[in-house]
Amino acid sequence: MIPDQKTKRAESAAERPSIQGSSAQRDASRRQFLQGALGGTFVTIAAAAAGLEFATAPAVEAQSKLTPDAALQELLDGNRRFMSGKLNSFNEDLEILKQKTVDKQEPFAAVLACADSRVPVELLFDQSIGHVFVTRVAGNVVTPEIIASLEYGVAVLGTKALVVLAHAGCGAVKATIQAKEVPGQISALYPHIQAAVNQAGHDLEAASKANAKIQAGLLRDASTVIAEAVKAGKLKVVAGYYDLATGAVTILD
């Protein structure tokens, strides 16, 4: 049954998540973003170049029938299966790949994760092919390209939950803390993470968690597509932390 508009508005109000963090942190996040990106105009240009007509396309109904809370819970339930070693996804992948995902994808959640090879997103959430829209970059930082990708996940694919996933032993955060000279363009990551280091100090775990929170808040602030979806109760954006030793994902917000 399709709910009427009054029901949708009531559900939106009930499901609307709170946004945490001080104004100082949010200001630092905005400054951080401006240092590492060209701003919203670049996102619009990148989206147009990829054929993503967000500004003129009609509103897309979410493909997943899960609520934002239920979508997040599905990820956490999968993580518990991963921790217990009782995975479902391996039995589903081949059939789903052949029969259900050739022509389309219908992910119910999106994850912004670090590029670290020890963070296999689909595996640690026990999700099979086509269920999670994943973007990865060292330090799980927000850039115009990352925003454009996640906006596509929200506006076109209808993802209901978005997790910014930090992890233990993050090399990008550690490098930012140490601020040593590095080869090539590795240091381009530092400005994106520096606000978290300023906030949490030289404690690697604390800084990694602070970074995930800041990046999640930045997504809610810097993207009109994501902000509007959150405001309408269609999307939940949270920060998470993955413990490499235990396999557990903890929601930080």
Residue 60 domain-assigned (yes or no): no
Residue 136 domain-assigned (yes or no): yes
What is the average pLDDT score of the chain? 81
Residue 16 domain-assigned (yes or no): no
User: What does the chain look like in DSSP terms, one character per residue?
Assistant: ----HHHHHHHHHHHPPP--S-HHHHHHHHHHHHHHS--HHHHHHHHHHTT--TTTSPPPPPS--S-HHHHHHHHHHHHHHHHHT--SHHHHHHHHHHHTSSS----SEEEEE---TT--HHHHTT--TTSEEEEE-TT----HHHHHHHHHHHHTS---EEEEEEETT-HHHHHHHHT---STTGGGGHHHHHHHHHHHTT-HHHHHHHHHHHHHHHHHHH-HHHHHHHHTTS-EEEEEEE-TTT--EEE--
| Number of domains within the chain | 1
pLDDT value, residue 202: 97
Domain of residue 225, residue span: 22-53+70-97+106-251
pLDDT digits (tens, 9 = 90+) for 195-208: 999 999 999 999 99
pLDDT value, residue 96: 66
Residue 59 has pLDDT above 80, yes or no: no
Question: Of 29 and 212, which is predicted with more confidence?
Answer: 212
pLDDT value, residue 103: 84
Residue 159 domain-assigned (yes or no): yes
Mean pLDDT value across residues 49-62? 39
pTM over 0.85, yes/no: no
Residue 193 domain-assigned (yes or no): yes
Residue 166 has pLDDT above 50, yes or no: yes
Residue 85 has pLDDT above 80, yes or no: yes
pLDDT value, residue 64: 75
Q: What's the CATH number where 110 sits?
A: 3.40.1050.10
- C-alpha distance across the termini of the chain, in Å: 32
Residue 17 domain-assigned (yes or no): no
pLDDT value, residue 26: 44
Mean pLDDT value across residues 88-110? 81
pLDDT digits (tens, 9 = 90+) for 25-52: 444 444 444 444 433 433 333 333 334 4
pLDDT value, residue 242: 98
Residue 130 domain-assigned (yes or no): yes
pLDDT value, residue 5: 42
Residue 195 domain-assigned (yes or no): yes
Task: Kindly report the number of other CB atoms within 10 A of residue 140's CB atom.
Answer: 32
Mean pLDDT value across residues 93-104? 74
Per-residue pLDDT band at 240 (split at 50, 70, 90): very high
